[in-house]
Structure formats: structure tokens, C-alpha cells
A and B are shown apart, each in its own frame.
Chain A
Amino acid sequence: MNGIRRKLMAGSAALLGLGLSGWGRAQSRSFQLGVAPHTSARVIIEMYQPLRLALEKALGQPVEVQTAPDFNEFARRALAQEYDLAVTTGHQARLMQSDASYLPLLTYKADFKAVALVARDGAIRQPRDLKGRIALGLSPSSLVTLWGQHWLRQNGINDVVVRYVSAADSTAQLVLADEGAVAFHSLANFQGLAPEIQARLRILAESEPMAGRVYLLNRREAQRRERIEATLWNFAASAEGQQHFDRHKLEGYRKLKPRELEMMEPFAAEVRQILRQDGK
């Protein structure tokens, strides 16, 4: 009995210690808002400043927006519980939900589609023209890149070499420079390109709408989920939020559809596989 009591007391003390330490850490460190590197770090930091301010105001603690050098690194950091609140593509959200217990919260109303871009005046007129050519993607684990590779395989094109670059606008420029025959982009990023660039590009293929950027809350913040979720919705309803959505053509938040993340499992599995290979 004493032994059980000592174990319980020790366990309680440990839990209390964990809880206290977690609370203390939450109070001392800043709230980390991790955003997947779907574009340049500067754009991401700037883009999420209104939300950061709203969160800081609501949570009463400093909020830092951060990103990662690439999707793999973002995934690794997310899996390492570095983010309190993460904004990432559907397949990584699925991975973080399944492998790191992140709690999915919501996503943007605007459809997220991937597109295959070729030069408008180039030789690529149909998918088979890509045989033996070079394709450009953001990262091996990015959703648009994974979609592109899937699209190539569905079109029976297996001998395309995929090269990865750091930023979405860079892939479009490389296609125009004939450094690659096709670039896999999100439709939103394509629409964010300069009009003269867009005019010189042509969409060879376009995906079905997918869960683009999903907000996930670290499980250690589960007790503040409602508050955080309410902050998000309040932000969406605020003028700053509307301005944020309008500027980035995100249209607002919406709740996730049932099984919307589970449908990303094939892409999540590929990411898991990639991370595993990188870990070796």
C-alpha cells in the first residue's frame, strides 16, 4: 500500500512537475506559429503578422511566426513538437495529426489546387511531351510536388527527372528560362505571380480541390483550444482578418470536412517515407 502510495505520489508529483513545467514553459517562451514554407520566409512572416498580433492580444503572450527552410524540415520540426499552432498543407496536416497528435482546427475557404505549368510558347503541348524532360517542384514533400509526381505517373510518364527549388516563383522563372519543362505550383501561387509572368505561362493540368492549408494545434495547447479556435474565428470576423483573406485570396476560414485529412493519407505516407529516408 505504501509502495502504491509512494508510486502514486511520485507519479502525481511527476505529473504535477510536468504540468508545472509545461505551464511554466508556456508562460516563459513565446507562442510558436509555424507556417509551412509554401513561399518565401519574408512573405510568410509578413502575411501572418495580423494573425500574430491577434493571437498575442488574445493569449497575452508573445507570438512568433516562423517557417522552415523546406517542407521536410517543417515536417520534422512539426513532428518534433516545435510549433504550438501550425499552418501547413493537407498531407502534412494528416501526417502531423496521425504521427504527432496535432489537433486539426480549420482551413481556408479558398480551394487549394495544384497546377502543372509549362511555357505558353514552349514545345510542351500535352503530358506526353514531357517524356524525358525535367520537372520542377518545391520540395519532395510539398503537396503540389507530390501531386505533380502522381499526375506524371497517372499519365504514364515515369522518366521525368524532378528537381526541387526553394520558392514557387522560382520554378515559374526556371520554366520560362527553359531550365525545366514543367513546374508544379499551387493555383494560388500561380495567381500571385506577376501578370506578365502569368501571361507567358500555360496551365497544362490542374488538380481537384485539396485541403490546402490546415490549422493544427499542438496537443499540449489542447486546454486552450477553444480560446485559440475562438481567436481564429474572431480574427476571421475582424477587419484585419477580412483584409488578410482578401489580400491573399483565402476567402476566410471553414471547418474541415469529414475525412478531408484522411484523404491525404497517400501523400502523407510519401512524406513519412521521405522523412524516414532523410533520417537514415
Chain B
Amino acid sequence: MIRPWHSLRGRLLLLALLVEAVMLTLLVTNSLRLLTDNMTEQARENAEQIAPVLNAALVAPLAQRDHATLRAVVQESQTAQGFSYLAVTDRQGKVLALAGWPEGRPLPAADNQFSIFKLGGLPRYDVVTPINLSGQALGQLHFGLDLSRIVAAHGQLLNQGVAIALGELLLSAGLMLLLGYYLTRHLGALARASEAVAAGNLTPQPLVEGRDEVGRLAAAFNAMSRAVAERIGELTAAHADQARLTEEVEAERARLAALLESMAFGVLYADPAGKVVYANPAFCHLWALPEAPAAHTSELLQLLGERENELADYPALRAALQARQEDYEFSWRDGRIYTLHRRPVQDSHGQPLGAMWVFEDVTDARLTAQQLIAARDAAEQASRAKAAFLATMSHEVRTPMNGIIGMTDLALQTELSGEQREYLQWAKSSAESLLTILNDILDFSKIEAGRMELESVPLDIPALLNHIVGLFSADAQKKGLALSWRAEGALPGNLAGDPVRLRQILTNLVSNAIKFTASGSVTLAVWAQPLEGDGRERLHFTVADTGIGIPVDKREHIFSPFTQAERFITRKFGGTGLGLTIVARLVELMYGRIWLESEPGRGTTFHFTIGFGRINPVRPQAEAGEIHDLPGARILLVEDTPVNQRLGQVILQKHGYKVTLAEDGLVALNLLAAQEFDLILMDVQMPNMDGLEATRRLRQLEAAGRRRTPVVALTANALAGDRETCLAAGMDDFLAKPFHADEMYAVVGRHLG
């Protein structure tokens, strides 16, 4: 128990009371002094002012010896002016008038100085002043100024001041006690809480917080207590975590040891100095070690060098190890093949702890790989053979087909009997069907072999759609179907794509739609889709018919090869069943997708999207099919196949062209050396000198000064790469076999115009 004046509260209280007592004493004393000075000054001034007034009032009665008036003036003045007494004496001191003073009692002498506290006397200021007039002394005025009011006021002020000061001290003491209690109760709580912490209770009850200093101190203490509690909790949790981690590390170490001991890979770990620290059993087995090397006893190179004679090329292995090569493969003299993988081991701060080598016997894997490579090579060889076969098939089948179809066309243009014409038309139709089947098979084969290559040339979508509709308008008209196309919204320009394959897709779909629609309409539509992330312009095409529709259970197979909705359809409508498969593959190759909506008996709508590239605007080429005849023009036809020589000659001559034949490129060059031609139609595959070589040589001659002659390739190779090959050789155009007469006229007209 601390003594009251030893506590902060007691000291503050004593100090405050002491200061206040001093200040109050000064205040009361000063007030008394001011009051006394003020009232004294007033009394003195009053005395100084009243004396002349009384003098003036007393002069006349004194001069007149009017004692009655003198007494009246004195008595009235004494009662009215606050005098203790008032008296007038003549020059000899005889009292002439008297008031407030006992008769016969000597009048008091005048006070030398003004003082309200006269020892042993009444509070009075005695004044004696002569009464003169014009230099004549008429008498003397005696009066005593009554100071009892000043003394009373002084005493009253003193009493009240002391009372107020005492009250103030008592009130202050009370307030200070209350304030001290209010302030120090929190301090007491804080002290108790601190003692509790010192005693070991690190999480005492929270203290009352507030906005004042003590409240903030309590808040800080609470925060400190919470922080201590949190730290203890964290330490406890960390301890638990550490124990758990230790267990986990131990378990992990056990698992890792089990793994290392059970795995087929040889694992060796060495410290930064190259000393072997650990080797698992597989390593000992791979290197035929009788037992695992003791840690830090031997070096890796030394360990492996013991097998030098058994290794096919130990110096190379040693060099790889010294060079810290990460991956290395080496062989044993007995044919085994090992790989090693070196990986540096670092701690969490990136400091090197050593390195780990993993050795693996890859003998079996290497043998398997070698077998697979051989198989792959064989497959690639087979694929190349297949491609060559396809190319050959394409060329070899198309060449006679060109003759069949062309000659049939020529024959149909001659005068025939009705029966002959019918037979020839059947022959032509069969040939074209055969060509379609052939093209489908070739396309499917190319797609499946991954050899389908697409062009990227400027596209004119409206022209292409016009062409499609024009191509099938006659067929649609025959069946009474309405065939049309429309673009919904503006189509982007400057598109690049493969017009042949897009035309093939549309031709196939429109052909199917007309084929499977008995009445109603076939409508093409196209619109632009928003740009996607690949940066391609995407068009959405639809081909809608009002035909027989496709049953639900057949739709998922509609794009599978060799599939048609119903077998009778094949029988009824014909076809290989590859058309939609090729269409779907082409759409996918052109960055799009295809799907359908169908309702049996009401019609089908095929949807597909195509992603096109963008190209810079180019000057539009002359429309395909725009023929500029130039009768009399000299054309060199370089063709080795007699039927095609004849076919071309007849077609060209029918339009008045002068045709000169050459059997191969060599003959053609000889002819060109002798004469000028306006156009050269050049077969590509020919004996002695093919068309490509002949064209290259011609262009060389032209580079030396010869006039340039346009060259159009005639080829039965339908592969896309053939066109580029021809153009690269210096040819100007490309006409694929088999071709129709109109196609030939179009190409010739284009280059002669």
C-alpha cells in the first residue's frame, strides 16, 4: 500500500492545490489591494473636493457671523456627505458650529496621511483646513471622513474572497480527486495487467481503450498483448509445423530412399568436389559394383574409370563428364547402351550442393527406336510410292480421258444420226462420271495422305457464286427448281483463298441439293462473320434446298467416307459417297467447319464457314471465259500423245488458229528457233525434254533478246503444286486435262488478246 502522497494522483492533487492556493491568495490580496487603493483614492479625492465646496458654503455665514446658518450648513453637510463629524472654528479656535462630535470634547488633530486602518481608532480620516476669503482667514473647517464603508467593504471582500477561495480549493480538490481517479483507474488497470504479464499471463484481459493518452496507452498495451498472443500462437503453430515437417521430411526421405532403391535408373550424387555421396542399388547394378561406395571416399571419374576397358569409348565419356555435359549417351563393348543425365543440385538460395547423375540402360529402347525408324522409313517410302502412283494414275488416267471426252465432244459436233448422237452422249456422260469418280478418289487419297495443298490467290466471291449458279442453272431449270444466291450484308473485299477448292465445295453441295430436290428451290447465301483471334476473314455459307431431307440417325455419318443416307439413294442418284467427305475435309483445311440442319421431307441446309486471308488490292484480271479470238494466230502445240495432238489441233483449228505440232520440248525449241509463234501450248510430261525444261530454255533465249512468247501448260497432273512448278519454270498459265473446248478457247483468247 503506497502512501497517498507517493501516488501520482496524490502528488498531482497536492501540486494542483498548492498552485491554486497560491494563485487564489494572490488574487484575493490583489483584489483587496485594488479595492482599498481605489476606495482610498476616491475618499481622498472626495475629501479634497468637498473641502472647497464646504469652504465656499461657509464663507458667507462666517463673514456675516451668521452662526445659525453656519450650524445648519454644518449639520446638513455632516449627515449628507458621509462625515463622521464636521466643525467650524473661528480664528481663535472657538467652535462656531459642530455636528457629529460631542460638545466640549476637543476636536481631533488632522491626520498626516490617509490610512483606513488606524490603530486603536475608528476608521476615519481627520482633516483640518482653513477657511479664507480674499486672503482673510475667516476660520477653520474640521471634518472627519467616515471610512467605515471602505473598511466594511474591505472586510466583506476579504471574507468573501477567502470563502470563495476555500470553496474553490474544496471544489478543485474534489474535481482533482475525481479526475485523478478517472485517469489513474486506467493506469491502475494497466499496472495490474502489466503485473499479470510479468507473472506469466501473457494474454491478460483487454483494457478499456479510449481517445485520450491513457486510452491510447491501453490500446497500445492491448495491441502489444494481442501481438504477444499472436506471436505465441505463431510460435506454437511454427513448432507444430516444424514437427509435422520433420515427420513429412522423414516420410519423404523414406519414400525417396525406397524410390531410389527400387528404381531401375542408376542414381549417383556427388558433392561439389566430385566425391561420391550416394549411389543407389541400380547404379551399382548398372556398373557392376559389388557394393555401394562409401560416402565421400571415391571420386566419380575414378569409380567409372575402373570400367574403362569394358566401355567402347571411355575417353569420350570422361570428356563429357569433365565438361559437365548434361545429356550423354555411351556404349559398352558388349553392345549395351547407356545414357547419363547430369543435373546440378542447389539449395533454396541457389548455392551449389553438388550434382546428380542418372544412368539408364537404354539398349532395348534404342533397338526399338531403330526398328521404328526403319518402319517409318519404309512407310514413308510406301507413301512416296503411293503419291507417285497417284500422280501417275492421275496423269495416266486423265490423258486418255482427255482424249475420250474431247473426241466425244468433237464427234458430237459432227453430223450424226440420232442413234449415233445418243450413243455418243451416253459415252460422254459415262466418261464425265468416270472423271468425277476419279477426281473424288484422287482428292480423297490426297487428303488422306496429307498431300492436299491449297492455293492462296485473290478471290471474287460474288463472281464465284455467279459462276456456280450459272453452271447449275440448266440442271435446276430442267427439274423446275429455283436456284439463286444472295449475300446478307456487305462482304469483305481483298480475300485470298483457293478458288478451285471453294468452287469444288459449292459445286458438290449445290449438285447434291439439286440432285436430292424434286421441287422447290436451292438457295445459296453468304455473310461475313465477326473477326476471330486468328486474324482471318470468315464467311458463312449456306446451301439450302427443299428436298427429301436427311434422317436424324444418318446425319452423324453424312460426312464419313463411303456413306450415303440410304443405299437406294446411291443406286437412285449415283455417286461414290466421297463428295461430302471431301467437302468436309476441304472446309477443315480452309480453317472452317461444316454442319447441317435438316428435316426429312422438308429440306436440308448445309452450313459451312471458311477462313480467308487478306491480300493487298490487285488489279482485277480479265474474267475467266472472256475470249478474245484472234483468227490466224500462230499457235505451237507441244504434245506427245497423238490423240491429244489431234484433239487440240481440231479444237484450235475450228476457231481459225494456225496450229503447229511438236512431239516434245526439244522439237518445240527447234521450231521456235526457226519461226515465231503467238502462243505456245506446252504439255508438261513429255519424252526427250519435258515442258518445264523447254520453257526454261525458251525464257533464257528470250532473256538474250528473243521476243517473248506466252506459254500455257497442258498437264494431266491435277495436284496444286504442279501449277506453281509450271509458273516457276516461266509458264504463263495452266490448263488441266481433261479440258473442255471452251476452257481451251478461254485460255488461248486470254493470252492472244
> Closest CB-CB distance, A67 to chain B, in whole Å?
5
* Interfacial chain A residues near B69, Cβ < 8 Å: 69
Q: Is B110 an interface residue (CB 8 A)?
A: no
Which residue of chain A has its CB nearest to the CB of B133? A45
- Which of A36-44, A195-203, A257-265 sits within the interface? A36-44
Q: Is B64 an interface residue (CB 8 A)?
A: yes
Q: Is A52 an interface residue (CB 8 A)?
A: yes
The verdict on A77 contacting B65 (CB below 8 Å), with A41-B59, A42-B59, A42-B60 known, is yes
* Interfacial chain A residues near B133, Cβ < 8 Å: 42, 45-46
Q: Is A64 an interface residue (CB 8 A)?
A: yes
Q: Interface residue tally of chain A, by bracket? A: 20 to 34
Q: Is B200 an interface residue (CB 8 A)?
A: no
Interfacial residues of chain A within 46-94, with CB under 8 A of chain B in the complex = 46, 49, 52-53, 62, 64-69, 73, 77
> Closest CB-CB distance, B136 to chain A, in whole Å?
6
Does A41 contact B91, Cβ atoms closer than 8 Å? Answer: no
Does B134 contact A30, Cβ atoms closer than 8 Å? Answer: no
A52, B136: Cα distance in complex, Å: 9
Which residue of chain B has its CB nearest to the CB of A53? B135
Does B64 contact A46, Cβ atoms closer than 8 Å? Answer: no
Interface centre among A40, A45, A52 (most CB of B within 10 A): A45
Which of B60, B66, B91, B136 is close to A49, meaning CB atoms less than 8 Å apart? B136
The verdict on A41 contacting B63 (CB below 8 Å), with A30-B91, A69-B69 known, is yes
A68, B136: Cα distance in complex, Å: 16
A41, B91: Cα distance in complex, Å: 18
A46, B133: Cα distance in complex, Å: 7
* Interfacial chain B residues near A41, Cβ < 8 Å: 59-61, 63-64
Which residue of chain B has its CB nearest to the CB of A62? B91
Which of B63, B65, B66, B91 is close to A42, meaning CB atoms less than 8 Å apart? B63
Interfacial residues of chain B within 159-203, with CB under 8 A of chain A in the complex = none
Interface of B is mostly: mixed
Q: Mark B124-146, 1 if CB is under 8 A from A, else 0.
A: 00000000011110100000000
Interfacial residues of chain B within 57-97, with CB under 8 A of chain A in the complex = 59-61, 63-66, 69, 91
> Closest CB-CB distance, B71 to chain A, in whole Å?
13
A62, B402: Cα distance in complex, Å: 186
* Interfacial chain A residues near B60, Cβ < 8 Å: 40-42
A148, B60: Cα distance in complex, Å: 27
> Closest CB-CB distance, B338 to chain A, in whole Å?
156
* Interfacial chain A residues near B91, Cβ < 8 Å: 30, 62, 64
Interface centre among B59, B65, B91, B133 (most CB of A within 10 A): B65
Which residue of chain A has its CB nearest to the CB of B135? A49
* Interfacial chain B residues near A77, Cβ < 8 Å: 65
A68, B60: Cα distance in complex, Å: 9
Does A65 contact B64, Cβ atoms closer than 8 Å? Answer: no
> Closest CB-CB distance, B426 to chain A, in whole Å?
170
Does B63 contact A44, Cβ atoms closer than 8 Å? Answer: yes
A49, B133: Cα distance in complex, Å: 9
A37, B65: Cα distance in complex, Å: 12
Which of A30, A52, A62, A69 is close to B64, meaning CB atoms less than 8 Å apart? A69
Does A45 contact B66, Cβ atoms closer than 8 Å? Answer: no
Does B63 contact A45, Cβ atoms closer than 8 Å? Answer: yes
> Closest CB-CB distance, A83 to chain B, in whole Å?
11
Does B66 contact A69, Cβ atoms closer than 8 Å? Answer: yes
Does B136 contact A67, Cβ atoms closer than 8 Å? Answer: no
The verdict on A65 contacting B63 (CB below 8 Å), with A42-B133, A45-B134, A52-B136 known, is yes
* Interfacial chain B residues near A44, Cβ < 8 Å: 63
> Closest CB-CB distance, A241 to chain B, in whole Å?
17
A230, B69: Cα distance in complex, Å: 37
The verdict on A66 contacting B65 (CB below 8 Å), with A30-B91, A42-B59, A42-B60 known, is yes
* Interfacial chain A residues near B134, Cβ < 8 Å: 45-46, 49
> Closest CB-CB distance, A18 to chain B, in whole Å?
22
The verdict on A37 contacting B64 (CB below 8 Å), with A30-B91, A42-B59, A62-B91 known, is yes
A67, B59: Cα distance in complex, Å: 11
Interfacial residues of chain B within 599-630, with CB under 8 A of chain A in the complex = none
Does A68 contact B64, Cβ atoms closer than 8 Å? Answer: yes
A45, B64: Cα distance in complex, Å: 9
A234, B91: Cα distance in complex, Å: 28
Which residue of chain B has its CB nearest to the CB of A35? B63
> Closest CB-CB distance, A55 to chain B, in whole Å?
12
Which residue of chain B has its CB nearest to the CB of A74? B64
> Closest CB-CB distance, A271 to chain B, in whole Å?
18
* Interfacial chain B residues near A65, Cβ < 8 Å: 63, 136
* Interfacial chain A residues near B66, Cβ < 8 Å: 68-69
* Interfacial chain B residues near A66, Cβ < 8 Å: 63-65
A84, B355: Cα distance in complex, Å: 157
* Interfacial chain B residues near A37, Cβ < 8 Å: 64
A45, B137: Cα distance in complex, Å: 11
Does A68 contact B65, Cβ atoms closer than 8 Å? Answer: yes
Mind listing 21 A-B residue pairs with CB under 8 Å? A30-B91, A40-B60, A41-B63, A42-B59, A42-B133, A44-B63, A45-B59, A45-B136, A46-B134, A49-B134, A49-B136, A52-B136, A62-B91, A64-B136, A65-B136, A66-B63, A66-B65, A67-B63, A68-B64, A68-B65, A77-B65
Seen from chain B, the residues whose Cβ lies within 8 Å of a Cβ on chain A are 59-61, 63-66, 69, 91, 133-136, 138
Lowest 4 A-B CB distances belong to which pairs? A41-B63, A41-B60, A46-B134, A69-B66
Can you add 11 more A-B contacts, CB < 8 Å, to A40-B60, A42-B63, A64-B91? A41-B64, A42-B133, A45-B63, A49-B136, A64-B136, A65-B63, A66-B64, A66-B65, A67-B64, A67-B65, A69-B69
